[in-house]
Chain A
Amino acid sequence: MRPDNSVVLVHSTSHAIKAEKLMRRAGIDCKLIPVPRKLSSDCGICIRFAARDKSRAALVLAKGGIETEGIHDLAR
């Protein structure tokens, strides 16, 4: 089974908004969603994007100084 979507978890809402901006600016389609409970018990938000953009997203976030708490595939 190939995952369609990935999510990146970050420290806080502020980090999520910054990440969203960086990714959109880089042309990566993405959306803020609540953190899936199976990934974390945190009640915050994370960024969902197409799995094919995974390596690009990781690069963009690293360049923008965003420390991530992991990029996960969302199995359908």
Chain B
Amino acid sequence: MYIFVAGVILRAIVRGGESAGSRHMNTHLVYLDNAATSWPKPPDVAEAMTRFLAEVGANPGRAGHRLANESARIVYDTREAVAALFNAGDPLRVVFTRNATEAINLALKGLLDKGDHAVTTGVEHNSVMRPLRALQERGVELSVASCSPHGFVDPDAVAKAVKPGTRLIAVTHASNVVGSIAPVREIGTIARGKGLCLLIDAAQTAGALDIDMQRDNIDLLAFTGHKSLYGPMGTGGLVFGPRIDISRIEPLTRGGTGSRSEQETQPAFAPDKYESGTPNVVGLAGLLAGVRWVRARGVEHIRRNEMVLTQQCIDGLRAIDGVTVYGGLDAARQTATVSFCVAGVSVSELGLALDEDFGILCRVGLHCAPVAHRTMGTFPGGTVRFSMGAFNTKRDIDAALSAVARLAVGAGA
């Protein structure tokens, strides 16, 4: 990663780059903000996007000429790769969106009507909570199953929240704040047993953890392309499992699809029902390269390395006086995301010092998940979040730990 970063900086200098670039000339930047978006990306991703723009470029399926067909093949191959990664079944039930947020909105607003009851949890991201709160104002009933202070979803609490009229259980696969992994299989069994839909927000886990929609009874899987699938921003999707009757799910937008052009009403079949307008094919070309890279490297392999770094990070932080680490403190039960605080110093000051003085890039605050911080008792102050990815090394964690140790001493902790 050092060489990659140095390359970027070198280019900035060669181009007479601004001071922002050269200021870091001798700094080893450590990127620990992979839960926000993964970086760097595998080189294949930029190459695939460049190739699409330079050599294909056409609007998929709007014309029928060879470049349009090639463009449509890239989109379809991406559906196929995503469906295979999640053991989803039919690639035509992979619907692309701008990101996980749009996919979650599609699932929630498309499925829930006035009078329906939905169950969610106390560690959700606002991309789940805000649309649910808005639906609540329009007559959807909502229960929030409480979680442990370490951020773990309790399947019994979820089961107890179910009542007559419940249609949906919406759960984040892993918290973006503490990384705690939800017992998806158990919740899937509950949902299946009661005939309910299960929506999983896999923004933090798609590509990072093994996901099998059929084995785990996941009906709707929302994913984002730019995190652990290593694709570009602006990509994501909603995968419909075989039990979902799409005639019961309304689209968010309607418009041109290149199909059924003689009709003035929206097509009734997937994916066209949910994909109006020209898709982000340059982004999908990058996502395809990212998913292929993840599959070639192996989710298991990536996960093993991230677990080692995560445990190193947790143990190292806990050894520093004045530092409180949140969550289960066990890498096997969380993603590569670690949240902590340092006594006597605000998280915003810490974030700024980590960046400016040490070149450690992370995210501080509430991480768009106020309910998760309430669950952990860190609301409204928030936490510092280190999140690792496939390109981080032990040395990166060493550097981050020694920076925190110096800041903690400075704070008089």
Interface residues of B, count at CB 8 A: 25
Cβ–Cβ contact B92 & A14, under 8 A: yes
A17 located at the interface, meaning its Cβ lies under 8 Å from any Cβ of chain B in the complex: yes
B73 located at the interface, meaning its Cβ lies under 8 Å from any Cβ of chain A in the complex: yes
Partner of B61, one of A16, A18, A33: A16
Most buried by A among B68, B69, B269, B272: B69
Partner of A45, one of B61, B79, B272: B61
Cβ–Cβ contact A14 & B267, under 8 A: no
- Report whether over half of chain A's contact residues are helix, strand or loop; otherwise say mixed: mixed
Partner of A43, one of B261, B269, B272: B261
Q: What are the residues of chain A within 8 A of B61 when measuring CB–CB?
A: 12-14, 16-17, 44-45
Q: How many pairs of residues, A versus B, come closer than 8 Å at their CB atoms?
A: 67
Q: How far is the CA of A16 from the CA of B91 in the complex (A)?
A: 13
- Report whether over half of chain B's contact residues are helix, strand or loop; otherwise say mixed: loop
Q: What are the residues of chain B within 8 A of A11 when measuring CB–CB?
A: 259-260, 267, 269, 272
A41 located at the interface, meaning its Cβ lies under 8 Å from any Cβ of chain B in the complex: yes
Q: How far is the CA of A18 from the CA of B83 in the complex (A)?
A: 13
Q: What are the residues of chain A within 8 A of B139 when measuring CB–CB?
A: none
Cβ-closest chain B residue relative to A65: B90
Q: How far is the CA of A42 from the CA of B272 in the complex (A)?
A: 14
Partner of B72, one of A13, A34, A40: A13
Cβ–Cβ contact B76 & A17, under 8 A: yes
Partner of A15, one of B68, B92, B261: B92
Q: What are the residues of chain B within 8 A of A21 when measuring CB–CB?
A: 76
Cβ–Cβ contact B64 & A33, under 8 A: yes
A32 located at the interface, meaning its Cβ lies under 8 Å from any Cβ of chain B in the complex: yes
A58 CB to closest chain B CB, in angstroms?
Answer: 19
**CB within 8 Å of A: which B27-86 residues:** 60-64, 68-69, 72-73, 75-76, 79
Q: What are the residues of chain A within 8 A of B327 when measuring CB–CB?
A: none
Cβ-closest chain B residue relative to A31: B69
Cβ–Cβ contact A12 & B259, under 8 A: yes
Partner of A12, one of B63, B69, B90, B257: B257
Q: What are the residues of chain A within 8 A of B91 when measuring CB–CB?
A: 18
B71 CB to closest chain A CB, in angstroms?
Answer: 10
Q: What are the residues of chain B within 8 A of A40 when measuring CB–CB?
A: 262
Would A14 and B72 be within 8 Å (CB), given that A44-B61, A45-B64 are in contact? yes
Most buried by B among A14, A16, A43: A14
B258 located at the interface, meaning its Cβ lies under 8 Å from any Cβ of chain A in the complex: yes
B351 CB to closest chain A CB, in angstroms?
Answer: 44
Q: What are the residues of chain B within 8 A of A41 when measuring CB–CB?
A: 261-262
Contact bitstring B303-314, A, C-beta under 8 A = 1, else 0: 000000000000
Cβ–Cβ contact A12 & B269, under 8 A: yes
Q: What are the residues of chain B within 8 A of A16 when measuring CB–CB?
A: 61, 72
Contact bitstring A31-52, B, C-beta under 8 A = 1, else 0: 0111100001111110000000
Cβ–Cβ contact B76 & A14, under 8 A: yes
Cβ–Cβ contact B92 & A32, under 8 A: no
Cβ–Cβ contact B267 & A12, under 8 A: yes
Cβ–Cβ contact A14 & B261, under 8 A: no
Cβ-closest chain B residue relative to A41: B262
Q: What are the residues of chain A within 8 A of B62 when measuring CB–CB?
A: 43
Q: What are the residues of chain B within 8 A of A43 when measuring CB–CB?
A: 62, 258, 261
Q: What are the residues of chain A within 8 A of B259 when measuring CB–CB?
A: 11-13, 42, 44
**CB within 8 Å of A: which B374-398 residues:** none
A33 CB to closest chain B CB, in angstroms?
Answer: 6
A52 CB to closest chain B CB, in angstroms?
Answer: 24
Q: What are the residues of chain B within 8 A of A33 when measuring CB–CB?
A: 64
B271 located at the interface, meaning its Cβ lies under 8 Å from any Cβ of chain A in the complex: yes
Q: How far is the CA of A16 from the CA of B76 in the complex (A)?
A: 10
Contacts A/B (CB < 8 Å), 26 sampled: A11-B259, A11-B267, A11-B269, A12-B61, A12-B258, A12-B272, A13-B258, A13-B259, A14-B75, A14-B76, A14-B92, A14-B271, A14-B272, A17-B72, A17-B76, A18-B76, A18-B91, A18-B92, A32-B64, A32-B69, A34-B63, A34-B64, A40-B262, A42-B259, A44-B61, A65-B90
Q: A13-B72, A14-B271, A43-B258 are in contact. List 10 more A-B contacts (CB 8 A).
A: A11-B272, A12-B258, A12-B267, A12-B271, A16-B61, A17-B75, A18-B91, A34-B63, A42-B262, A45-B61
Q: Which 6 A-B pairs have the closest CB atoms?
A: A13-B61, A34-B64, A12-B259, A17-B76, A43-B261, A45-B64
